Chains A and B, each alone.
Chain A
């Protein structure tokens, strides 16, 4: 057995953080998330919400879709976004929306108001950083779940995914290779975007919707679970070494995002922590 010891670059911040199911978070936890998001929205520089939302569509368009970088690029994207969120509140993580088991907009994201305040998780302003507003651009995100008559509501149906039997979840998780896994994930991911509707169904504007991050955390979580079940099933060597484009340091290769623990988070369903002898 080989024991691998790695030095912690930033020991004071080395504790793993757990991304949580939005539906299982307490009211206090959700409110803390809202406050952190409001803090990001208040920052109108390259630490703020508009800056990060703009990586995906208007104006930077550096997202990756329908190819083998789809999963690693979005994992890196959420990593960068979450760090910016944690600059506002270090204890907050990006939650995930379990659209497999909860095929509706989660209540925390759906409520129009929370008390007397607007719910920042329901809708966010669209003010792309650094470029003048174009004619006809949306000013605020909105959703229209189910408005596309053909897009399947999550959790989707077995009939659409041949051989799945148990529906989309079983179909995705039974993928025998990384190549097949990202393709199946991408298909279901695309369907959820279009089912949600509004700005979420348009690559130009999707990341301005706060639900975008919870949707992608779910996709990322599926990848994490699949990685657990398929140790050693990696992208090909050339892909692993490929650097991905982000608008912020650090630059990340595909290889750098394979291990979520190295990025500082986990999706454990439960976690209990106790201090050790110091």
Chain B
């Protein structure tokens, strides 16, 4: 299981008690390292590795069905490829990272509308539950609130 926690708490200009919805947005989640499930906890502090859905700081989970190993030759799974010309109308590479959005409004309310969020993610690769690195990779995590 890979554990990750925000290096510093996230905060928004408007207090959470003044908004109607709060989403966590995982930006550019990679899909090239095997299917996995991620548990998301808010303001949980130190968490045991086996913290589950019944933990009072559990905010939700998501599972991504992806491919495991690259079976092709060099460059086969290079999702960063650019169009080869302006006539290249082919769709994006199928491993292009995606955004994953999670509605955490209920958890925010349950936690008393805290002003700052520390997010902890536990991610487990389906085919290799013991893996501690490279299971979940993404570029940014954003908290988005809507009034």
Contacts and interface: CB of A to CB of B under 8 A. Distances in A.
Nearest to B53: A159
B63 A194 contact: yes
Contact of A203 (B62, B67, B91): B67
A190 interface: yes
Interface of B: 31, 34-39, 53, 58, 60-69, 71, 91, 94, 98, 101, 103-107, 122, 124, 126-127, 129
A241 interface: no
**Which residue, B31, B38, B61, B105, has most C-beta atoms of chain A within 10 A?**
B61
20 contacts: A65-B65, A65-B94, A147-B126, A148-B126, A150-B39, A152-B61, A157-B53, A163-B106, A191-B37, A191-B63, A193-B65, A194-B65, A197-B126, A201-B126, A201-B127, A202-B35, A202-B68, A203-B67, A204-B69, A206-B65
Given A67-B98, A148-B129, A202-B67, 20 more contacts: A65-B65, A66-B31, A148-B126, A149-B124, A149-B129, A150-B38, A162-B60, A163-B103, A191-B37, A193-B35, A194-B36, A194-B63, A201-B35, A201-B126, A202-B68, A203-B35, A203-B65, A203-B66, A203-B68, A204-B71
A157 B52 CA distance: 13
Interface stretch (A55-63, A75-83, A86-94, A116-124): A55-63
Contacts of B62: 187, 190
A44 B64 CA distance: 32
A151 B94 contact: no
A115 interface: no
Contact of B63 (A63, A137, A147, A190): A190
Nearest to B102: A162
A57 B60 contact: no
B94 A63 contact: yes
| Chain A: interface size category | 35 or more
A189 interface: yes
Nearest to B58: A159
Nearest to B34: A202
Interface string A4-20: 00000000000000000
B65 A201 contact: yes
B64 to A, nearest CB: 6
* CB-CB nearest 6 A-B residue pairs: A150-B37, A203-B67, A190-B65, A193-B65, A191-B63, A148-B126
A65 B97 CA distance: 11
